[in-house]
Structures are given as C-alpha cells and as structure tokens.
C-alpha cells in the first residue's frame, strides 16, 4: 500500500484499536490484495470494503431505516430478524446504542461532524457519513425524545407483568421513532 489518503489512515488507525492484532493483519492483507495493481490511493471506501463485516448487519439495516423515517421497510426487516432468533430486548439494546451515538454526535458543542469523530468505537467510511446525516437530521431534542421512547419500551419488556407480544411492542416503538424522524 504505497499511497493511503488521510481519511483512510484515520479509518485504519481506528480499526487497529478495535480489532485484535491477527484480525487487523488479515484486514491489511485483504486491503493490499484488493488494491493490488491499482494506482489510485487507498480511500475510506476501500477500507470499508475490506474491514470485517458486522454480524449485526440486519440490525444496522433496521436502525438505518428507522432513523431515516422509512416506515414501510421496518416490518420486513423485523420479520427477518425474528426468524434469525434475535430477541426483542436485544433489538432495543441495539437501537438504544445507535440513538445514543446519534445523540452524542448531535449534541456535541463542536458540531455533529466532530461528535461522530469522537465516537467509540470509531465509525468508518460510508457508515460514518450516513450516521452524520442522521444525527444532523434528527437534532439533539428529537433524539432525547427517541431515547425516552426506547427506555420506556425497555422497561416494559423487562417488567414481570408484560402481556403484549414483545416483538410487536418493539416494532410499534420503532415505527413511532420513524414517525418522529419524519417530522421536520
């Protein structure tokens, strides 16, 4: 890898902190093979293409459609996640983590782009750009409201007297969030 852009180097540095030494070495080898014979410098998109894929890809898809107010896409992804055995509490935990990250970025005094840069673990490439757009679109006030909905649902899921189907309760909350995202 002869030429690496500044953004790609930032992404690689973040990956080096997130991955174990063996996984990071494999990622660098994969990147070198990916760019073999390519004279164009390594960019963030190249790093993202070679970085280990998250096992939570379907959950990420769900959280993105919710944050981007795509209500019609929520149910099909929920059905897929349920078939994979994902538990309702796990969905709420993942959603809360995502919306906390958006809130941290949106409420950063230096602006959302600086807030995204400070997130741990770091976010790379197109995913970083997508989350930045989400944080800017939502704003801190709506994200606080979203987090309160998620906490309320989490408490309902964990209460002993819960009688409603848990997956339906989670889906209703996510649709409610997508509706909130769509309000300008």
pTM here is 0.70
Q: Is residue 1 in a domain?
A: no
Helix locations, 84-165, DSSP H: 88-106, 112-117, 125-158
Could you give the CA distance from residue 131 to residue 134 in angstroms, rounded to a whole number?
5
| Residue 117, C-beta contacts closer than 8 angstroms, at least 6 positions apart | none
Residues 65 and 154 placed together within one structural domain of the fold: yes
Q: Is residue 130 in a domain?
A: yes
Residues 34 and 95 placed together within one structural domain of the fold: no
pLDDT tens digit at each of 184 positions of the chain: 889 999 899 889 888 877 778 888 999 999 999 999 998 999 988 988 888 765 455 888 999 999 999 999 999 999 888 877 788 999 999 999 999 999 999 999 998 888 898 888 778 788 889 999 999 999 999 999 999 999 999 999 988 777 779 999 999 999 999 999 887 6
Q: Which domain holds residue 16?
A: 6-50
Strand-pairing partners, residue 4, are 42
């Amino acid at each position: 890898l002869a030429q690496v852009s500044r953004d790609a180097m930032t992404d690689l540095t973040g990956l080096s902190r997130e991955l174990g030494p063996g996984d990071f070495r494999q990622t660098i080898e994969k990147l070198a093979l990916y760019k073999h014979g390519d004279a164009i410098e390594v960019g963030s998109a190249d790093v993202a293409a070679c970085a280990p894929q998250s096992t939570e890809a379907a959950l990420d898809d769900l959280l993105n459609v919710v944050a981007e107010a795509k209500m019609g896409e929520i149910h099909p992804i929920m059905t897929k996640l349920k078939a994979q055995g994902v538990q309702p509490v796990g969905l709420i935990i993942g959603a809360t983590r995502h919306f906390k990250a958006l809130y941290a970025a949106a409420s950063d005094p230096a602006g959302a782009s600086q807030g995204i840069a400070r997130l741990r673990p770091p976010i790379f490439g197109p995913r970083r750009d997508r989350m930045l757009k989400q944080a800017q679109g939502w704003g801190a006030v709506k994200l606080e409201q979203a987090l309160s909905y998620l906490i309320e649902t989490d408490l309902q899921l964990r209460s002993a007297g819960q009688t409603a189907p848990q997956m339906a309760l989670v889906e209703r909350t996510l649709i409610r969030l997508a509706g909130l995202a769509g309000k300008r």
